[in-house]
Structure 1
Amino acid sequence: MKSLIAASVAFAAMLGAAHAQEIKIGALYNLTGGMSSLDGPSLKGAQLAVKQINEGGGLLGQQVVLIAPDGKTDQQETAKSAQRVLSEGVVAGIGQSDTTFVMAAAPLFQEEGIPFVTSGATHPELPQWVGDYMFMTPFGDDDQSYAIADYAYDKLGARKVAVWTDNSMDFTKALSKFFVERFEKRGGEIVGTDTFMMGDTDFSAQIARIGSLDPKPDAVFISAIPSEAGLSVKQIREQGITMPIVSGDGFDTELVASVPGPELANEVYFSTHTYRADDRPEVAKFVEDYKAEYGIDPENAFAPLGYDALMLVADAIRRADSAEPKDIRDALAETRGFNGVTGEISYTRETMVPPKPVSIISVKNGKYAVEEIWNPETN
């Protein structure tokens, strides 16, 4: 009997030692529902980063384990996912491509003193809302809205614009707010506003109203998440409306081309994270590695954002020479000149939002192309 007890204790000790050789990181993504076309690629990017880190010997001599439950594009499920990964002893969290879902999870990390790095949520007040354990991989909505407003005014020649806003999301409301602010500052005029809600599938009422506007708009700005992006383009074009459609990174999804089809996916322009057509070696290597791992090119800029978020945490752990959450947080706050796939990341602004370049992408005949790179003020 004593030998059995001794063997059990030894086995338990071995299990404990094995778990001690792991560094657990939570990855909170919506793998089903309206955000899945952004979050799915982000998780794949993060998983690729973990694989590369572990093949290179791990972090601090330990293997990295990613814990990634599905938030199902639901705030309550997202909060449950956060509670689950926190209960499993993660030292940091990454994830989410939308502010609303970050706010369902990141405050729980803040309460526990565990750093959280969003890979894709872009509201510029996120670090202030959550606290000093919150970090952003992407640019802020102010920068990307300013970028597409400048492009609409300068390159598309738009002077009068209608604005549609998904009124159920913090991200989409912020995007419209900053677009209007910049466009009017440039001398443009907002000639009509309209709203819809996440999950809406019929935009006929909004389309009828845009058709009756006087003066007529030169373009329509649509602040939406992916599930509404493709549908809105399809329905607008089906009604014979050919004016440019402009948006932010919620349109950085294959749905903008696949839902309307190549004949209707025309004259669409959106701001997103600098990645497509970028000739930096970090980008070329990521594309090559992603294709080798998954058999396809990265679906959109959210794939490298997931990769960058995980690598930001890994970089902080290496610099801190510690997997203690507070040490990771402190090292993250000191990040300067991190060469990510989506651009250099430095936390130099008081807002803690990294100043990053913004790509302007066009969609014509269902084909995506980089039109220009917009550079923000750095402070």
Structure 2
Amino acid sequence: MKRIIAICVASALMMGSALAQDAIKIGALYNLTGGMSSLDGPSLKGAQLAVKQINAGGGLLGKQIELIAPDGKTDQQETAKAAQRVLSEGVIAGIGQSDTTFVMAGAPLFQEKGIPFVTSGATHPELPQWVGNFMFMTPFGDDDQSFAIADYTFDKLKVKRVAVWTDNSMDFTKALSKFFIQRFKERGGEIVGEDAFMMGDTNFSAQIARLAALDPKPDAVFISAIPSEAGLSVKQIREQGIKIPIVSGDGFDTELVASVPGPELANDVYFSTHTYRGDDRPEVTKFIADYKAEYGIDPENAFAPLGYDALMLVADAVKRANSAEPAKIRDALAETKGFKAVTGEISYTRPSMVPPKPVAIVSVKGGKYAVEEIWKPKAQ
């Protein structure tokens, strides 16, 4: 009997090992707790939905996908540990992160191993150059989204003077402000004051006092922040009776901008983000329906479809390469043209390897989000 039990246990272990070997493993680096969780959580859910759909359709190369997704905890060291963990488990590719700082904590480790990494939401336009030829972007670059909100602020809001606040702890937020200032000045606008804060700050009273004291007074304030500071800054500015428009980039694409201030204070906020809200393309309508069927809610923000798109982008490359070899997947990714993503078509046609994608301008009025316009970049 002992021999029979031992044989059964050994057989089970061998079957488990065989099943593990038969799985195609993809790493997913996301911050499921901490300041980035309201972007990264929906993004992971989007990726998990993609995996479920692909596996239900027979998987990739006849194998099921296994998504390995440790929590980076909005901490660079934890993110690096998470990257090391998934790389040790034999992944063929990695996806993830909604912020450049956290991509830079993990993606270079993928580059060293020759494993492709596709960021779902980090937007610094120099990421592919910083990391290397195994780094790919699902979203647009910060230059495009900053130019989009700068143009909207100048042309549609009729704003001529802007104060700029920047989270000085993040590569993404510093880049966003840099490109906004560049574009707004090019359009003929004036920057009347610049101020700073750091990730994790919860009291903006000093910045608000300096904003109120500016002379000449700004017509709007541009706030470059991640979600945890986005909602707080809006709340505190409005509580002090300052009613000028607040403009930003996709760090504001979070329910916190409405929920933290509440509907009475969440007014005249405008941000640039990834297209999908208010879009009737079939890829969009199907994703929204599928997401709601899976999770019981509409996608929380544009980072949910970005996670979906990143996973589908990798799957598309695997199919075109007809291989699970990382180098061949990388080559197929680099050749991507006209990929019909939920957040817009993806083609790597620029020397920078940043896809030229449309940018949505979203307003928040009375706590309600609405798409105001779609801005399109030069393909170059």
TM-score by length of 1: 0.98
1:268 aligned residue: 269
Deviation at 1:106, TM superposition (A): 0.1
Q: What pairs with 1:146-157 in structure 2 (closer than 5 Å)?
A: 146-157=147-158
Q: CA deviation at 1:12?
A: 4.7
Aligned to 1:164: 165
Structure 1 residue 155: Cα displacement: 0.3
Q: Secondary structure at the match of 1:330?
A: helix
- 1:17 shift after superposition: 2.2
The AA in structure 2 aligned to 1:225 is I
- How many residues are aligned here? 379
1:334-359, Cα deviation, whole Å (9 max, x unpaired): 00000000000000000000000000
Instruction: Report how far residue 82 of structure 1 moved.
Output: 0.2
1:74 aligns with 2:71: no
Partners of 2:8 and 2:163 lie apart in 1 by 72
Residue segments in structure 1 that go unaligned for 5+ positions in a row: none
What displacement does 1:18 show? 1.3
Query: How far apart, in 2, do the equivalents of 1:158 and 1:343 lie?
Result: 29
Partner of 1:15: 16
Matched position secondary structure for 1:60 = coil
Equivalence for 2:197: 196
**Which secondary structure does the structure 1 equivalent of 2:276 belong to?**
coil
Q: Counterparts of 2:92 and 2:325 in 1: how far apart (Å)? A: 7
Work out the CA distance in 2 between the residues paired with 1:146 and 1:314: 31
Match for 1:35: what amino acid? Answer: M
Letter in 2 for 1:194: D
Q: 5 Å matches for 1:238-253?
A: 238-253=239-254
1:95 and 2:103 matched: no
Task: State the partner residue of 1:255.
Answer: 256
Aligned to 2:368: 367
How far off is 1:16 after superposition?
A: 3.1
**Corresponding residue number in structure 1 for 2:132:** 131
Please list, as runs of the form range in 1=range in 2, the aligned pairs for 1:43-54 lying within 5 A after superposition: 43-54=44-55
Once residues 12 and 161 of structure 1 are traced to their aligned partners in structure 2, the CA distance between those partners, rounded to angstroms, is 64
Tell me the equivalent position of 1:339: 340
Tell me the equivalent position of 2:186. Answer: 185
Q: Distance in 1 between matches of 2:218 and 2:104?
A: 35
What is aligned with 1:114?
Answer: 115
Equivalent in the alignment of 1:173? 174
Pair 1:201–1:4, CA change in 2 (3 A): closer
1:15-55 Cα shifts (integer Å, max 9, x gaps): 33212210000000000000000000000000000000000
* CA deviation vs aligned residue, 1:304-332 (integer Å, no higher than 9, x gap): 00000000000000000001111110100
The CA distance in 2 between the partners of 1:313 and 1:56, in whole Å, is 16
Q: SS at the partner of 1:274?
A: strand
- RMSD over aligned CA atoms reads 1.3
SS in 2 for 1:187: coil
Length-normalised TM-score, structure 2: 0.98
Mapped to 1, the partners of 2:360 and 2:4 lie a distance apart of 66
